[in-house]
Amino acid sequence: MVHVAKEMKRLGLTMPLMVGGATTSKAHTAVKMEPVCDHTVVWVKDASRAVGVAQNLISDSKRDDYMAELRHEYEQVRARHSGRRSQDKWLSLGQARANALTIDWDNSNIPVPASLGVHVIDDYPLAELVDYIDWTPFFHTWELKGSYPKIFDDVDKGVEARRLFDDARKMLDTLIAEKWLSARVVYGLFPANSSGDDIEIYSDDRRDSVLMTLHHLRQQQQRPDGKPNQCLSDFIAPAGRGIKDYIGAFAVTAGLGIDERVAAFEKDHDDYRSIMLKALADRLAEALAERLHERMRKEFWGYAPDEELGNDELIKEGYEGIRPAPGYPACPEHTEKALLWQLLDAEQCSGISLTESFAMTPAASVSGWYFAHPESRYFSVGKLNRDQVEDYARRKDMPLTEVERWLAPSLGYEPDSDQ
């Protein structure tokens, strides 16, 4: 979003820019976006409020006062942000690495996967996924905040939530019976060891040839006493210790065939069913990722063969191991997804392609890594200081300015150059 704002300035575009969604905030807009452009940038909390903002921006009588109030509000946000940043306690990258998570590898039981390499499951049965659906995000798609099934008892939202759910279940039954969508899985298990903040994946279990290197980032702000500065590489046994460890990778989709069906709905001006189908495809893709991870733990990797968890426990991540995805808090830098795609030959095997910004197409797709060690946990890398970003650029052999652009939301400093 910051890059788009800068491009608008470079091209001389002066129309207002509205931004919103889960990846931004009023603070992000005030600190990162508004200062880098000459046009008005407005953060809008959700799409339902965009019309009112647009009315203020095009109104001859309201526009000037609205924009002046907005600039004043952003100045206050920046002042508060600056005050908080001055209180940040940073560690050098060396200090953060010295406070890495310590695992007793000599006494760790590292299971060997039953079968290494890449595996494909075509036309995964959608009916198997229904019981794995997390319905809470479905309601968020329709701007109905609340958790499933408690939302049905909400005084203000309950009736509408129940109607949406009934419509969704009817469409879900139909799309499964009539095979509107198809699902596909590609996953792989590979020999791996860590090397500092990186993870080396080997060509085979002899481990004398590095197939590729994954690059990860470490928490760099000072942690409370006794709390480590974590990096995903901490969960993989270090190279040179004589310990054989492994890592998994996956890409799944439940969106194959969706474009034709959505186009038919839109041709009939049936936006409701179009949005409903997209929302259900997203839920099925997430359910497929959940089901595959369960099978990974119990069958394919087999490190938790006796696991017995219900869907509520799965949603609460009560299982052993994690499946972080590139772009998410533990590994926020999206270009690493290209390595995942190369490792799995994911486009050929799954039908999922990547855009130039590393978004997945079809959109109803999920991808990520598998870590099996019982001490592996989800975490947020948080803000990064300049020394780590420079080190990361060297490790990836990428220009610093390019890395700073990809890591823009995670930077704890202002880059020197305009990107």
- Asked if the model's pLDDT at residue 184 lies above 60, the reply is yes
Put residue 303 in one of left, alpha, beta given phi > 0 → left and psi -120 to 50 → alpha: alpha
Residue 362, classed as helix, strand or coil, is coil
Question: What share of the chain has pLDDT > 90, as a percent?
Answer: 68
The pLDDT of residue 52 is above 90: no
Give this prediction's pTM. Answer: 0.85
pLDDT tens across 230-287, in order?
999 999 999 989 999 999 999 999 999 999 999 999 999 999 999 999 999 999 999 9
Q: What is the pLDDT of residue 102?
A: 95
Q: For position 381, what pLDDT does the model report?
A: 96
> Looking at this protein, which amino acid is placed at residue 145?
K
Contacts of 230 (CB under 8 A, 6+ apart): 100, 101, 218, 219, 330, 377, 379
**Pick from 148, 152, 140, 182: nearest CA to 22:** 140
CA distance 76 to 327: 30
Q: What percent of the chain is predicted at pLDDT more than 70?
A: 97
- Does residue 337 contact residue 327 with C-beta atoms inside 8 Å? yes
**How far apart (Å, rounded) are the C-alpha atoms in residues 338 and 355?**
10
Size of the chain in residues: 419
Task: Say if strands 41-43 and 17-19 run parallel, antiparallel, or are unpaired.
Answer: parallel
Averaged pLDDT for residues 14-18: 87
Q: What is the pLDDT of residues 79-95, one digit of tens each?
A: 887 766 556 789 999 99
Contact 371, 247 (CB under 8 A): yes
Mean pLDDT along residues 98-110: 93
pLDDT reported for residue 276: 96
* Residue 203 amino acid letter: S
Q: To which CATH superfamily is domain 2-86 assigned?
A: Cobalamin-binding domain (3.40.50.280)
For residue 229, which of 382, 116, 121 has the smallest C-alpha distance?
382
Average pLDDT score over residue span 176-186: 96
**DSSP line for 309-332:** --HHHHHTT-SSSB---TTBTTB-
Whether 324 contacts 368, CB under 8 Å? yes
Is the model more confident about 53 or about 353? 353
Residue 184 or residue 43, greater confidence:
184
pLDDT tier, 67 (very low <50, low <70, confident <90, very high otherwise): confident
Write out the two tokens for 30: 């005030």
**Terminal CA-to-CA distance of the chain, rounded, Å?**
12
Higher pLDDT: 71 or 343? It is 343
Domain limits, the chain: 2-86
pLDDT digits (tens, 9 = 90+) for 297-336: 999 999 999 889 888 888 888 889 999 999 999 999 999 9
